[in-house]
Amino acid sequence: MNGENTTLPEDGAALQVAPEAAAATDTPPVDEKTGPGDGEKAQLDIPLEMPVLPVRDIVVFNYMILPLFVGRDKSVQAVDAALSGNRYILILTQKDEKVDEPGPDDLHVVGTVGMIMRMLKMPDGRLKVLVQGLTRARVTEFTSTDPFHLAKIEVLEERDVKEITLEQEAMMRAAREQSEKILSLRGIATADIMSVLNSVNEPGRLADLIASNLRMRVDEAQKILECEDPIERMHLVNNQLVKEVEVASMQAKIQNMAKEGMDKAQKDFFLREQMKAIRKELGEGEDEDDDMEVLRKALDKAGLPKEVKKEADKQLKRLTGMHPDSSEASVIRTYLDWMAELPWKKLSRDQLDIKEAKRILDEDHYDLDKVKERILEYLSVRKLNPGMKGPILCFVGPPGVGKTSLGRSIARALKRKFVRMSLGGMRDEAEIRGHRRTYIGSMPGRIVQSIKQAGTRNPVIMLDEIDKVGTDFRGDPSSALLEVLDPEQNFSFSDHYLNVPFDLSKVMFICTANILDTIPAALLDRMEIIRLPGYTEQEKVHIAKRFILPRQVQENGLKKTDMVLSDQVLSQIIRDYTREAGLRNLEREVGSVCRKLARRKAEGEKPPFRITAKALVKLLGQPRHLDEEHEKVLPPGVAVGLAWTPVGGEILHIEVATMPGKGKLHLTGKLGDVMKESAQAALSYARSRAKELGLDPDFTEKLDIHVHVPSGATPKDGPSAGVTLVTALISALTNTPVCHDVAMTGEITLRGRVLPVGGVKEKILAAVAAGMTRVIIPKRNEKDLEEIPKELRAKIVVQTVEHMDEIWPLACGRTKPEGAAS
């Protein structure tokens, strides 16, 4: 054992009382030197100083008889010293079993006084000793550490239990029962051992006897040894027994499951071989696998292309020669099932009645004329040229504008199957292309799965949230989509699982996205972009009346005649409670109104319920969006800008303050890099035009300028705030206020040119919702005004500019600033 003091390896149960331990409960050891004893510790002549034997991986308890190997020099000399004296030795457990030469600090102070009953010298110089634990003892002082450890001790006498209570008796019985259960789970005969345990009536002695034979960690056993109260010691032993019962039960369960599995596999193999033999004797060997014949017929009916049929026949031939229970046979069988179930030749017949398709699209969606026109164009070309390839459309717009529902309407108009597939958060390329069959649990990609789900080769597949596809170490799904969304390549799309080409050219793919910035350029090039901007207030009122209100009335158990909701009240809900580009919050608010009316009806009130502006506050609470931030007169240094966000347009207040300083520019409001650069450009423009604006040419040497955009916790960035920054800056420097009802958007150059921006419709929608009467946009964005409905343009005046010099008169209503700030 390489100089270690350790117990001999034992085979057996977690709880097994050794014959020596059983004898120790009745009589003390008899030795030729010590003579017979009377079994009482009080009569044992235990000295108060004795040699110490450190042990590594065991805790010795009272009444425990066990063999030990002793190999370390100090330990051998300690045993020799004990044998030359009265044979008593103190056995202490090491705190860290890895320490080869333990000192006093490496040993627990509580151990067991043991008597050496037998000693045998091994050929390699080690000693094999048989020791019996007699009593607990605590080290009070180490008197020597060389040539061996010698310690003074204090004997820890066993506390007497005068009268055993019912609780203590129950604890002892539970310990015996748990011990018997462990023995039975281990398959060990219990009769002799239980007779020994039943003969012990002292709690402390029973606890020591059981603990000495339990499989525990050294620290847990040392904790029990150090416990002087016999009742508490019995409690600790019971806790260990409960743990051991759980472990033993689980081991027995695992062994039984493994045995049953092996027995079943052997039985199935034997029966299968018998069936083969019986069929062979009956002359039915040719039809022994009817399942194979069914699979073969399914493959024949699937209409597989020539190359695919060749691969399927090859795999079927391999499967026929394999054992049915082999893992490879299961993989091939699943593969052939996929090949047989895919719609290789099944096509749904398109609805090519253009007028009927237009009626369906108008029935499902209000407005969206451009989208409907594109779908009708597709149907018209399809009618004239049935062999055309499916288009790749991409609907881009804020959440809630109807992108996904529009895909369903297109499938309904075409009378094709519709399958929706969400790409949001997808990071594994195998989700698109599938896993190779060499992997356990491999499956085709979600494109092929969608084709199988649809049951036809020309469904409408909607790829939702294509702008939220991610990438990591598992691959780039957006790159895998390049083949799927290219009509020149997807006629022979290869899935890694199928490993044969599948024609996707007849599939109509429709993608949706909130923004285009995160879509790779190569992928974006394969799609036809159709923008769905937000709805105007009037459009929302029409949509609410035609679609949202009837649907919510029905879903909440009401009738059409149960509520009266005017257009004015709907407009109030839109203005005061939603203010979004889409319709989701509007549907939630209308649903909330319907639920409250449904409760009133269920409580006995009689409809119809008339919803007025006053009643709306009671139903939905106070308005969530107020116009209180719009002042009738803006202070100098404040201008209203327009911003585009993924959820629609927003107004943006930009504030500029000047103060005595040395020309520092402070930017706050969590601005992005683009807006920071726009602020720098605005300051440079103002300096370059100081004379024309009536400013002190050296104003940057006398003033610090602070630019702030409120709502500082919200990140802001984008190339559309340049003109607003310049206007606010000039307003602050000249002490001239800007008109409160004017909003503007556009980017500037250092020379003052106003550059075009995106999202014009969304921004004008936001301006109208915020109560603005005029909007200033770049001249080159004039073409975008065609997308704005006439009723929206009637509510606001749109003014176009090409140069910054044109903006100031429009923004403040004056041709020249009144005076510059000093």
**For residue 482, what are its two tokens?**
């390049």
Nearest-angstrom CA–CA distance, 651 and 324: 69
Q: Which residues pair with 501 in a beta bridge?
A: 494
What single string gives the DSSP state of each residue in 657-690?
A: EEEESSS-EEEESSB-HHHHHHHHHHHHHHHHTH
Nearest-angstrom CA–CA distance, 264 and 560: 65
Nearest-angstrom CA–CA distance, 291 and 295: 6
Please state whether beta strands 742-744 and 392-396 pair in parallel, antiparallel, or not at all (unpaired). unpaired
Q: List the catalytic residues.
A: 720, 763
**113: three-class secondary structure by DSSP:** strand
Q: Which one, of 414, 317, 400, lies nearest residue 356 by Cα?
A: 414
Contact 386, 347 (CB under 8 A): no
Q: Which one, of 402, 394, 455, lies nearest residue 423 by Cα?
A: 394
**703: three-class secondary structure by DSSP:** strand
Burial track 637-670 (b if 16+ CB lie within 10 A, e otherwise): bbbbbbbbbebbbbbbbbbbbbeeeeeebebebe
Matching residue, tokens 């993608």: 511
**289: three-class secondary structure by DSSP:** coil
Nearest-angstrom CA–CA distance, 224 and 110: 11
Within 508-640, residue ranges assigned H as helices are 521-525, 537-543, 549-555, 567-573, 584-602, 613-620
**For residue 454, what are its two tokens?**
């649809």
Q: Which one, of 373, 362, 370, 372, lies nearest residue 787 by Cα?
A: 370
Burial class for 258, CB neighbours closer than 10 Å (0-12, 13-18, 19+): exposed
What single string gives the DSSP state of each residue in 608-629?
A: PEEE-HHHHHHHH-S-S--STT
* Number of residues written out for the chain: 822
Residue 531 φ/ψ, nearest 5 degrees: -85, 140
Contact 582, 548 (CB under 8 A): no
- Cross-sheet strand order for the sheet of 774-778: 665-668, 703-708, 648-660, 638-645, 742-744, 774-778, 797-801
**For residue 192, what are its two tokens?**
């002799």
Residue 66 φ/ψ, nearest 5 degrees: -155, 150
**Cα angle 112, 114, 116; round to 5:** 160
Q: Which one, of 493, 468, 465, 490, lies nearest residue 391 by Cα?
A: 490
H helix count then E strand count, the chain: 29, 25
Question: Which amino acid belongs to residue 309?
Answer: K
Maximal C-alpha separation, the chain: 126
Q: Cβ atoms within 10 A of the Cβ of 59, count?
A: 27
Cα of first residue to Cα of last residue in the chain, in angstroms, is: 93
Burial track 481-497 (b if 16+ CB lie within 10 A, e otherwise): bbbbbbbeebeebebbb
**Cα angle 353, 355, 358; round to 5:** 110
Helix (H) or strand (E) holding 136: strand 127-144
Please state whether beta strands 150-156 and 127-144 pair in parallel, antiparallel, or not at all (unpaired). antiparallel
